[in-house]
Structure formats: structure tokens, C-alpha cells
Amino acid sequence: MSEKVVFSPFERRASLALSAVYGLRMLGLFLVLPVLALGVADMPGGQNPAAIGLAMGIYGLTQAFFQIPFGMASDRLGRKPVIIFGLLVFAAGSFLAAWADSLTVLILGRALQGAGAVSAAVSAFLADLTREEVRARAMAMVGISIGLSFVVSLVIAPPLYGAYGLEGLFLLTGGMAMLAALGIGRMRAHPPQDRSTTLEPQPSLIKAVELEKIRAWPLLSHSQLWRLNLGIFSLMAVQTAMFVAIPMGFAELGLPLQDHWKAYLPLLLVAFLGIVPPIFWAEKKGRFRPVFLGAVGLLAMTMLGFLLADGQGLGPWLVFVGFFFVGFNLLEALLPSWVSRVAPVGQRGLALGIYNTSQSLGLFAGGLIGGLMLAAYGRAGIFAACGLLLAFWGMMALGLKELGRRSSTRSSPPLASSGP
């Protein structure tokens, strides 16, 4: 039996530092998600549901557009300066949104936030600083930081909004981005060159893109990967659209915005406990497909439940929000790992780039869907649109092939979700 490879002290520090930087940025981005739809009500233009949806999702569009250019620039100019620049762009967008006196200016600020798209550059920096044998664990640490950021944001955003308003949340977001930039500036750009941390040469992303142009289309048309990319697009679209509807539902049922955390915290704890048994069962039996399809079905049925429960009291609403968190968290945990195991070994990086772009476009589409449906049909329109999207995704996901058990001698590293 081969000896398990462990982190060197440098790799452990680098992984923790970059996970913290990534988590700070994502926390700043997630903080406004639970409160934005209601927080803009007093702004000029804040009564326009379509504009609210655009404010929710516009950062996903600019992030998708700038993600690959930032990654390529980090190869030419170095990881640290590009990441720091991207974080400062994100901070500038946050400050612009904080000082916005209309929804139009806030939308511009959100777009500028998304333009600081450093996900690919941070992932590349982490790859530079870790050996292949421990890289999967390093990426998993980033994924955990993203999940924690989402959970923490749902819990702390409502009371912070109650104390400091939307302006205060955006100022805090900008401050966290600047703190993250400071952390990147203090990091070493290269590992110590000794036997324990010697890394394999990292190919230039630009050269890799040139070499992979011919092979990119097979990844886009890969029967399994395009279903998974459709999955993360749909999941992020549903998430963003539902956070147009869920805060409004709580407010109409008598729960003030600053108290929404009292609902989110217990529901998230129950959801996290709820996803552990099916994930363990899938790992033990090698039966990921039924768990995956079951989670998609659960989300689709939850949309029907929201349609029936809307306006029927706080109790039924809480039940379906809880089911939503269970299905969402289960799928968010399964999707990146599935991509990593399906992607060809030499093209996992390209597969991750396509996956992350699909994720960002889903965030934009969800904001747009949420706003347009709210304007035309109210919250019922959001639930119906999300239900139809989930039903379509479920039908397409029927073509996914079972993963089976992980090999004990060789397993593909899980891809960390880059988040919005």
C-alpha cells in the first residue's frame, strides 16, 4: 500500500490562504443575495421587477465574459497582480453600488463587481503552489469555503441589513475584497524549491488554449458533460430566481427582512444533515445517478409545492424552503465531482472553464427570469418557470450514465465550484 501524500507546510498555508481569499470574495458577493430584491424598494426604479432581476443577475453575465481573459492575463502578467487587480475591480463595483442613488447605478455597480472575475486565476495560482498529489484536497478546501460563504451570508445578511442598510452591506463587501487583495499581496508567488514541494512545470494557459482549440468542441458536445453543464446552468438560474421570490414571500407572511435569518439558519442546518445520508449511500453503493435524479425531482416538486403553499401561511412556506435547500445543496455537492470524473484526464481544466462559464450564465439567466416572471405573473410565474426548467433538466439528465464506485487506487480530483 502506498503512503498517503500529505500537505507540506507551505502547501497547507497557501491552500488555507487562497481558500480564505476566495471565501471573502464570495461572502461579499453572496451577502446581498437574500436582501437585494426587497432592499431596493425605496430606490428610483426599485419597483420595476425586471430591473430588480437584472440587478440580481447582471454580475453573472460580466463574470462569464471576463473569466477566461483574466485567466489568460494571469499567465502573461503573473497570478498575483491579476488577482489583486480583479479584486480591486470587484471592490470598486461594490463601492459604486453602495453609493448608488438609483437602481440603474446599482446595476452598473453589480456589473462591475462581476467584471472582477478572478476565479480562474485563483484556481491557477492554487495549482501553481501545490503538487498534483494534494491538489484535489486543496481544491476541495476552496469548495468548502464557497459553501460556508453562502451559508454565512444567508444567516448574517438580514440582521446586517437591518442595522446598516443595503449601503452598509455593499461597503462591507468592498472592504472584504480589499482585505482579500491585501492577503494575496502578502503571499509568496512561488513555493520553496525543495524535494518535498517541487512541482511539475505548469503549462501556459495561452499555449494550452491554442493546443485545445480543436479539442474544445468534443467537450461541448460530450453527451455527459453537456448534461452536467446544463445542470449547473439550471441550478444557478433557479437559485437566483428563487432569491427574488423567497424574501418577498417571507416578508408578506409577516417575517421582517432583518429576521429572515431566524428561518434560514435552522432550515440550512436541517438541509445539511439531510444531504449526508444520500451522499454516503451513493459513495458506498456507487449509485450516484438515482440520488442525482431524485434531487432534481425534489426541486421540481418543491416548485409545485411553492405554487400551492404561496399565501397559505408561514408553516407550509418554511417546509418548502427547507426542501429547496436540501435539493439545492445536494446537487451543488454532486455536480462538480461528477464533472471531474467524466472529463478526459488531459482536459479537466478546459472542462472546468466551460462548467464555470455555464454557472455564471445561469446566475444571469436566473436574475432575468425572476424579474421578468415577477413583472408578468407574480411569484407564481417564478415558481412555474423554475419548475419547467427543472423538468427539462430532469429529462435531459436521464441520459447520464452511472458513475460507479470510486477507484481506491486512482480517483479523479473533485473540481471546486467557482461560485458566482
Whether 232 is covered by a domain: the verdict is yes
Whether 2 is covered by a domain: the verdict is no
At residue 221, the pLDDT reads 65
Of 202, 226, 245, the domain-final residue = 202
Is 164 found in the same domain as 251? no
How many CB atoms are closer than 10 A to CB 48? 17
Whether 316 is covered by a domain: the verdict is yes
Of 171, 202, 233, the domain-final residue = 202
At residue 205, the pLDDT reads 43
How many CB atoms are closer than 10 A to CB 69? 13
**C-alpha grid cell for residue 123?**
484556481
Let me know: does 216 contact 9? Beta carbons within 8 Å: no
CA distance 395 to 320: 22
Whether 418 is covered by a domain: the verdict is no
Amino acid code (one letter) for 277: P
Whether 1 is covered by a domain: the verdict is no
Of 150, 135, 128, 20, residue with least CA distance to 79: 128
Amino acid code (one letter) for 151: V
Which string of DSSP letters, residue by residue, matches 48-103? -HHHHHHHHHHHHHHHHHHHHHHHHHHHHH-HHHHHHHHHHHHHHHHHHHHT-SSH
End-to-end distance of the chain based on CA atoms, in angstroms? Answer: 40
Whether 300 is covered by a domain: the verdict is yes
CA distance 387 to 297: 10
Amino acid code (one letter) for 176: M
Is 192 found in the same domain as 248? no
CA distance 60 to 419: 10
Whether 50 is covered by a domain: the verdict is yes
Let me know: does 291 contact 334? Beta carbons within 8 Å: yes
SS3 377: helix
SS3 129: coil
Of 202, 217, 242, the domain-final residue = 202
Of 3, 21, 13, 5, residue with least CA distance to 131: 5
27: exposed, middle or buried (Cβ count in 10 Å: 0-12, 13-18, 19+):
buried
Is 252 found in the same domain as 166? no
Is 264 found in the same domain as 196? no
Is 385 found in the same domain as 313? yes
288 is in which domain, residue-wise?
204-405
How many domains does the chain fold into? Answer: 2
Give the ranges where 116-131 is alpha helix by DSSP (H): 119-128
Is 210 found in the same domain as 188? no
Q: Which residue has the cell 480589499?
A: 178
Q: For residue 69, what are the contacts with CB-CB under 8 A and spacing of at least 6?
A: none
Which CATH number is 309's domain given? 1.20.1250.20
DSSP 161: H
Is 197 found in the same domain as 147? yes
Is 369 found in the same domain as 394? yes
At residue 288, the pLDDT reads 84
Q: For residue 211, what are the contacts with CB-CB under 8 A and spacing of at least 6?
A: none
Let me know: does 299 contact 324? Beta carbons within 8 Å: yes
Is 150 found in the same domain as 17? yes
CA distance 280 to 379: 35
Let me know: does 127 contact 135? Beta carbons within 8 Å: yes
Is 211 found in the same domain as 190? no
**C-alpha grid cell for residue 6?**
500529505
**C-alpha grid cell for residue 415?**
473540481
265: exposed, middle or buried (Cβ count in 10 Å: 0-12, 13-18, 19+):
middle
Residue by residue, pLDDT tens for the chain (420 residues) are 445 667 788 888 888 888 888 777 778 778 888 898 888 888 888 888 889 989 988 988 998 888 878 877 887 888 889 999 999 999 999 999 999 999 999 999 999 999 988 877 887 788 778 777 776 677 667 767 777 888 888 889 999 998 999 999 999 999 988 988 888 888 876 665 544 444 444 444 444 444 444 455 566 667 788 888 899 899 999 999 999 899 989 988 888 888 999 999 899 888 888 888 888 888 777 788 898 999 999 999 999 999 988 778 888 899 999 999 999 988 887 787 777 677 675 566 567 667 778 888 998 999 999 999 999 999 999 999 999 999 999 999 998 888 666 554 344 444 344 444
How many CB atoms are closer than 10 A to CB 310? 18
SS3 3: coil
Q: For residue 312, what are the contacts with CB-CB under 8 A and spacing of at least 6?
A: none
DSSP 254: T
| Backbone φ and ψ of 34, nearest 5° | -75, -10
Whether 21 is covered by a domain: the verdict is yes
Is 125 found in the same domain as 163? yes
Q: Where are the beta strands (DSSP E) in 241-294?
A: none
Is 291 found in the same domain as 149? no
Q: For residue 88, what are the contacts with CB-CB under 8 A and spacing of at least 6?
A: 116, 177, 178, 181
User: What share of residues in the chain are helix, strand, coil (percent, to 5)?
Assistant: 80, 0, 20
What are the distances in angstroms from CA 176 to CA 34, 169, 419? 18, 11, 17
At residue 94, the pLDDT reads 94
